[in-house]
Structure 1
Amino acid sequence: MTRTESPARMSSGAERALVDALRGGLRGAVVGRTDPGYDEARRVWNGLVDRAPAAVARCADVADVVDAVRVAREQRPVLSIRAGGHQVAGSGVCDGGLVIDLSSMRGVQVDPMARTARVQAGATWGEVDRATQLHGLATPGGEVSVTGVAGLTLGGGLGAMMRTHGLSCDNLRSVEIVTADGMVRTASRDQHRDLFWAARGGGRGLGVVTSLEFDLHPLGPEVAGALVLYPYEDAAAVLRAWREVARQAPDTLTPEIGLWSIPPLPDVPGDLHGAPVVIVAGVYIGAPADAGPVLEPLRRLGVPLADMTATSSYVESQRALDDLFPAGGRYYWKSHFVDELTDELIDALLACDVHRPSPESVVYIRTLGGAIARVGEDETAYPHRAAGFNISVDASWHDPALDHSAIAWARSTWDALVPFATGGVYLNFAGLGEEDALRATALGAHGARLAEIRRTYDPNGLFEAAAHRA
């Protein structure tokens, strides 16, 4: 792994005191620097991130979280909160401080009559989908099933259902959170409304979210999805045709398009694997029998290399990309919001894509609008309601020798797209969270209100480092 920041180590005596204090109260394991399993405990999904905390508190329950926060308040280490551990920035682990690790808290309780689910913060979207689909229900989640529920939701939550039912954060009914004073609070539209507002898209640094309650919607067990590969040499024409389809798409579809390389898909001849390609995708959020007319325009953007449009289980559709983004791979992803895909923007994208550093890297465009835009701009901390599209520049690779060139490509591509962008940044795709300018723009006009709420619940800045890793 490559160092991502310089360690801010506590003294050895302070580290021992921290570990001893945690072990005196927690039911869950406490892993210090010299303990067996330390390297595993500090590892996160992004192999580019290599940070060395003084201690990892693997909380078994909410009471453990309260004890960990109490110890942190007394001893004041740098803090980070690990839930699913899947965020690109690796914000779940810090250098030289305390990781409050919720990855053992993974329960999912579904109430099919009320159409709600209570999800512990360490759960992944695959675990949520597995539980909710037993009842033919779902809530908007990520596009990779091993993504953590808490981190994705706190940053907004883009996914295949978002134009139909909104972002993940739009489907929150309540969050349970341990604040800096050690109190367990439930934030909802009726209680701690300011905290609830901030939790919906405001990122980290509010406290330790221990569970989230979601609205569920009828969907599945089967869904129809389009997946079409077009020749890379037709990319300009396909992008322009897709732009028109995206503008006219109903809210039951979130059209997506990527400049990628052909993954090792079973339905594609092996000699094509790794070749540059345009990938078009979308899942119909409704009965598969009604999907044909909605998906058909995605299949007629040119002459396809392969058309894998099919019906599958919702669970399968949500985990279809998991193997393409394995734990331990190296990832550096940045994003822009744009209002329109102008011809000039498309030309700029193609010019940058020529220098894509690895077959795994991708420039990916998601259509927004629909239910996202029907939520008022000030109803939640998520500030990008009016944008038409999100463009993510995803450098993904395995060889550490590519670290410099891959990160440089993502940054230079992001820079090239600045003239076409709204200025907003999606918190979940913001590099390694190391750039102050990104953090300042990610929340737009909501930044000042969010900072005031953080001061209200954390006046002494206990979670300040966690907030800066958002």
Structure 2
Amino acid sequence: MDTRTIGETEKLADALRGDLITPADPHYDQVRAVWNADIDRRPPMIARCADAADVSAAVTFAADRGLPIAVRGGGHSVAGQGLCDDGLVVDLSRMRAVTVDPGRRMVYVQGGALWQDVDPVTQAHGLATTGGIHSETGVGGLTLGGGIGHLMRRCGLTVDNLVEAELVTADGRLVTVNASTDPELLWGLRGGGGNFGAVVRFGLRLHEVGPTVLAGMLAYPLDDAPSVLANYRDLIVDAPDLLGTIVNLRLCPPIAAVSAHLHGLPIVAVVVCWSGGIAQGESFLRPLREFGRPVLDTVAPMPYVDLQRMFNATSPPGKRYYWRSVDTGPLTDEVIATVVTHASRITSPLSSSPIYHMGGAVGRVPAEDTAFGSRGASHDINIFGAWEPDRTDRDRHIGWVRDFSEAMAPHGVGQYVNFLNDEGADGVRAAYGRRWRRLVALKRRVDPHNLFRYNFNVDPGWTDEGDT
């Protein structure tokens, strides 16, 4: 950024109802901090927007000066996409209002909201939409990339419930995007990430859920993982959409739901969420709960909002994170053996390898209806590396993730865009697959200069030869 642009920051500050933070501000380091402490970027300007007009002013300022934009919603991106070193951060974290229209079964959510802002408000009406596994996850990033959650097999991905969005485009205009105003742009927002502008409000479809669900965790010694996973695989073949499950292989985390004597024990856990009738759920889950020798069974009726925040403590802000992922078909014996082998080599008590059960409503959405890929996947495996910020063995933890990822690659059928990390442009193109060219065409229309590039980027200059 040249001195002329630096000297013009006062113009932007005067145009904002919110605050413009620069490196000279005493709160700068606090404001620029994100969930992943492995990300350390120093943006020249952070516009902490108070409303959509602020977002429009910030985007216009950047566009007029050719400055790239990073949009920060919840700040939960493992790749740190809400920060940049050479442009303007449009920070939506002050914009967290949530409004429910129970008659239309819709919720309207500002772009900086977290799922912990949304779930209690919708559950007051006995309604919910698919949200993140952790309630501290931002609504914006999760929605725009896809939206895996406990309810996805019943309600679809978050992106499948995106009906409308208010978006500030690269030319600073505030537009309403829905199936009537711009169906192609709505398609791109349903899985295409933050490539097309700054979404200041989401309109999401709601479903009758809760307020009580049958949920909790079953845990077994990791030595039992092969038989536990084989039994789990057989059970979920005929699982109704009402059942959402996540298998996780890790060291038992020190969370309130788990007895202290189990903390640190190598385990395979099955997290369940049955969002239908409690008696029906208890009957269906009985074979799972009676199998083997579980060291823990916390499955019980509980408020859905409690389930949503149950695992927040397992990945708190301020740790260092690095991950990869792979979408797979069914859990074959070979897949199970590979997962167990590499999970047994875990390098940190903060790391884990959650396996999300897809299918159900996710798989019934036609592949071309959204930009989200891997509709046919049975599972998504997130190889999740995490360690304390003061550790000096970063390479060891990252090596575990990469080795695990490479071993799983032969079993892969795709990747979840929100679980990409540093795979680069080739990895982004591969994740989108045959949707890539359509996304490029849309990007050329709405952001031809790639102003919004701090994301899993769809470069408008891409050609078949890969020239940019």
Given the two structures, how large is their TM-score scaled by the length of structure 1? 0.94
Give, in whole Å, the separation in 2 of the partners of 1:145 and 1:466: 22
Name the aligned partner's letter for residue 104 of structure 1. R
Equivalent of 1:341 in 315, 318, 331: 331
CA positional deviation for 1:268: 4.0
Give, in whole Å, the separation in 2 of the partners of 1:326 and 1:123: 17
Q: Aligned ranges for residues 342-361 of structure 1 at < 5 Å?
A: 342-361=332-351
Equivalent of 1:106 in 96, 102, 106: 96
CA positional deviation for 1:90: 1.3
Quick check: 1:31 aligned with 2:10?
no
2:253 corresponds to: 263
SS at match of 1:391: strand
Deviation digits for residues 258-283 of structure 1 (CA, Å, limit 9, x no counterpart)? 11111224454423211100101110
Q: Is the 8 A contact 1:137 1:219 kept in 2?
A: yes
Name the aligned partner's letter for residue 85 of structure 1. G
2:394 corresponds to: 403
Give, in whole Å, the separation in 1 of the partners of 2:255 and 2:48: 37
1:140 corresponds to: 130
Quick check: 1:459 aligned with 2:448?
yes
* Residues matched between the structures, number: 458
1:469–1:103 CA distance, 2 compared to 1 (3 A)? farther
Give, in whole Å, the separation in 1 of the partners of 2:302 and 2:442: 43
Quick check: 1:275 aligned with 2:265?
yes
Q: Is the 8 A contact 1:15 1:55 kept in 2?
A: no
SS at match of 2:365: coil
CA positional deviation for 1:364: 1.2
Give, in whole Å, the separation in 2 of the partners of 1:200 and 1:68: 24
Give, in whole Å, the separation in 1 of the partners of 2:261 and 2:186: 51
CA positional deviation for 1:464: 3.0
1:305 corresponds to: 295
Give, in whole Å, the separation in 2 of the partners of 1:214 and 1:319: 20
Q: Aligned ranges for residues 32-181 of structure 1 at < 5 Å?
A: 32-181=22-171
2:466 corresponds to: none
Q: Is the 8 A contact 2:272 2:299 kept in 1?
A: no
2:438 corresponds to: 449
CA positional deviation for 1:75: 1.0
SS at match of 1:443: helix
SS at match of 1:335: strand
CA positional deviation for 1:287: 2.9
Deviation digits for residues 41-92 of structure 1 (CA, Å, limit 9, x no counterpart)? 1111111111110100011000011101110111112210001111211111
Name the aligned partner's letter for residue 285 of structure 1. S
Q: Aligned ranges for residues 431-450 of structure 1 at < 5 Å?
A: 431=421, 433=422, 435-450=424-439
Give, in whole Å, the separation in 2 of the partners of 1:317 and 1:59: 31
Name the aligned partner's letter for residue 416 of structure 1. A
CA positional deviation for 1:202: 1.0
SS at match of 2:367: coil
Q: Aligned ranges for residues 285-300 of structure 1 at < 5 Å?
A: 285-300=275-290
Deviation digits for residues 262-319 of structure 1 (CA, Å, limit 9, x no counterpart)? 1224454423211100101110012324321232233133211111111111111100
1:434–1:39 CA distance, 2 compared to 1 (3 A)? farther
Q: Is the 8 A contact 1:79 1:466 kept in 2?
A: no
Gaps of 5+ in 1: 1-9
Q: Is the 8 A contact 1:367 1:389 kept in 2?
A: yes
Give, in whole Å, the separation in 2 of the partners of 1:139 and 1:56: 31
SS at match of 2:244: coil
Moved more, 69-78 or 116-125: 69-78
SS at match of 1:228: strand
1:379–1:364 CA distance, 2 compared to 1 (3 A)? same
2:465 corresponds to: none
Q: Is the 8 A contact 1:284 1:295 kept in 2?
A: no
Give, in whole Å, the separation in 2 of the partners of 1:116 and 1:314: 18
1:114–1:313 CA distance, 2 compared to 1 (3 A)? same
Give, in whole Å, the separation in 2 of the partners of 1:301 and 1:361: 26
Q: Is the 8 A contact 1:187 1:193 kept in 2?
A: yes
Give, in whole Å, the separation in 1 of the partners of 2:437 and 2:285: 42
Deviation digits for residues 394-432 of structure 1 (CA, Å, limit 9, x no counterpart)? 01111431321111111111111000111x22111112x
Identity of aligned residues (%): 41
Moved more, 180-189 or 264-273: 264-273
Given the two structures, how large is their TM-score scaled by the length of structure 2? 0.95
CA positional deviation for 1:352: 1.3
1:270–1:469 CA distance, 2 compared to 1 (3 A)? farther
Q: Is the 8 A contact 2:20 2:46 kept in 1?
A: yes
Q: Is the 8 A contact 1:106 1:120 kept in 2?
A: yes
Give, in whole Å, the separation in 2 of the partners of 1:267 and 1:373: 32
Give, in whole Å, the separation in 2 of the partners of 1:134 and 1:183: 34
CA positional deviation for 1:467: 4.8
Give, in whole Å, the separation in 1 of the partners of 2:7 and 2:186: 36
Deviation digits for residues 154-177 of structure 1 (CA, Å, limit 9, x no counterpart)? 010000000001000001110111
Give, in whole Å, the separation in 2 of the partners of 1:385 and 1:310: 31
CA positional deviation for 1:119: 0.4
CA positional deviation for 1:331: 1.1
Q: Is the 8 A contact 1:231 1:305 kept in 2?
A: yes
Q: Is the 8 A contact 2:428 2:456 kept in 1?
A: no
Q: Is the 8 A contact 2:153 2:243 kept in 1?
A: yes
CA positional deviation for 1:466: 3.9
Moved more, 219-228 or 150-159: 219-228
Give, in whole Å, the separation in 2 of the partners of 1:458 and 1:468: 11
Give, in whole Å, the separation in 1 of the partners of 2:68 and 2:171: 16
SS at match of 1:378: helix
Q: Please, what is the CA RMSD of the aligned residues?
A: 1.5
Name the aligned partner's letter for residue 376 of structure 1. P
Give, in whole Å, the separation in 2 of the partners of 1:465 and 1:124: 20
SS at match of 2:237: helix
CA positional deviation for 1:435: 2.2
Q: Is the 8 A contact 1:338 1:391 kept in 2?
A: yes
Moved more, 19-28 or 232-241: 19-28
Give, in whole Å, the separation in 1 of the partners of 2:275 and 2:454: 39
1:206 corresponds to: 196
Name the aligned partner's letter for residue 249 of structure 1. A
